[in-house]
Structure 1
Amino acid sequence: MVIPAAGLRLFEGKRGLVVGIANDQSIAWGCARAFRAFGAEVAVTYLNDKARPYVEPLARELEAPIFLPLDTTVPGQMEAVFAAITEQWGELDFLVHSIAFAPRDTLAGRVTDAPLDGFLKTMEVSCWSFIRMGHLAEPLMRKGGALFTMTYYGAEKVIENYNIMGVAKAALESAVRYMAAELGPKGIRVHAISPGPLATRAASGIPEFDALLDKARRKAPARELVTIDDVGIATAFLAHESARLMTGQVLYIDGGYNIID
């Protein structure tokens, strides 16, 4: 891990919600750990009872004062998380949304052949859930704040085997721009973070992912793969007041891979 300098408590007194930690390899974990290292209080969610044993030790490491289940497809769970934040904190400074899902058969098939139910489920979890979280976070960000979601280069270019998820990420990036325009007057900034390929649990569902990792390592100008800590620290920087006039952007953290043909 890239450890922040001792005493660099840039987010002392700040509070945020991180959604999407599945284990200690998750991008969301890299983000939560960075914000906590910089002094923020961090609320954490876990998907379900099966996921809880993997996430709970990480929540304890963060000293998370709020630790609740959140499956965005279960009615009322999202609202319950924000109700708990409202009751315990009464405010929110940042939100990290790091979740995406596509049914296996929909992800493996051609976009042209996507069934309606698979398409809708992909869009619900991967895009609409961020829009809904923005809606719920808005009244808690009375002094401004920052909303982040995770995207990928496959939203912009056709990436083999990324398929329907590329469509969902393209919608997500568009939502970021519209939300940034709507929430900007309230001092709320919105960004999509686009890391290079990472060996996360979510990525394991993409066929031939190892080949994608090798290609990224070879082609990126930095000649190395991004880590979850690289993503976390960059995200924390963008949440800081120093970046207050940056909003509505897709920010690549990929060693420069996206600039290479």
Structure 2
Amino acid sequence: MHGRVVDSSAEGLALAMDVSCHSFLRMARLAEPLMSDGGCLLCVTFYGSERVVEHYNLMGPVKAALESATRYVAAELGPKGIRAHAISPGPIATRAASGIDRFDELLERAAATVPQHQLVTIEDVGGLAAFLVSDAGRHITGTIIPVDGGQHLLG
């Protein structure tokens, strides 16, 4: 997590993929038979999957794999009325984020530079999730949706 992507070990990559990507696929497989009336599957990603973010390192390619997996899950389970989305919040201080080197600097930089000049909260993410799983979001699937104060607009 703290080194260069090109220096990652096979074991490190496999662990990151298992925790951050394959776990979503396992969850989808286990949830599918329970969702006989359809439903919605959600995961969390980060725009470091699309752009190089300093100190995000190996998690960038791993989150890119998660986003691709989300689209495939949406396509494969869509005929059963099961939707899938990846929510992409801006940086939020969470336990998982604490493993990212210099994450506190990333938070400060994001707050200063995003168009809305404020960080998103867990409640903001929850509000988007509530919409996506509601009937109001029933015809939306396979999306990667930012809730990041406009951070995804910056290059």
TM-score normalised to the size of structure 2? 0.97
**1:223 is matched with which residue?**
117
Partner of 2:13: 119
Q: Hey, what does 2:68 align to over in structure 1?
A: 174
- Output aligned runs, 1:161-240, within 5 Å: 161-240=55-134
Residue 214 of structure 1: CA displacement?
1.4
How far did 1:193 drift?
0.4
- Who is 1:133 aligned against? 27
Out of 127, 130, 153, the position equivalent to 2:47 is: 153
Q: CA deviation at 1:207?
A: 1.3
Instruction: State the secondary structure of the residue aligned to 1:250.
Output: strand
Larger Rg: 1
* 1:244 and 2:152 are equivalent in the alignment: no
Cα distance between partner residues in 2 of 1:230 and 1:197:
12
CA distance in 1, matches of 2:26, 2:95: 24
Amino acid across the alignment from 2:59: M
Aligned ranges 1:53-68 → 2 under 5 Å:
none
One-letter identity of the residue aligned with 1:135 = R
Distance in 2 of aligned mates of 1:148 and 1:111: 27
Tell me, what secondary structure is at the counterpart of 2:12?
helix
CA distance in 2, matches of 1:139, 1:182: 14
- Normalized against structure 1, the TM-score is what? 0.58
Q: CA deviation at 1:205?
A: 1.3
Q: Give the counterpart of 1:253 among 147, 150, 155.
A: 147
| Identical amino acids, percent of aligned pairs | 57
CA drift of 1:219 comes to 1.7
Structure 1 CA distance, aligned partners of 2:117 and 2:57?
26
Would you say how many aligned residue pairs link Structure 1 and Structure 2? 155
1:216 deviation in Å?
1.1
Root mean square deviation, CA, Å: 0.8
Whole-Å separation in 2 of the counterparts to 1:260 and 1:158: 12
SS in 2 for 1:218: helix
Deviation of 1:223 (Å):
1.0
Once the two structures are superposed, the pairs formed by residues 1-80 of structure 1 within 5 Å of their partners are none
In structure 1, list runs of 5 or more residues that go unmatched. Answer: 1-106
Structure 1 position 150, deviation (Å): 0.4
Which of structure 1's runs of 4+ aligned residues deviate more than 6 A? none
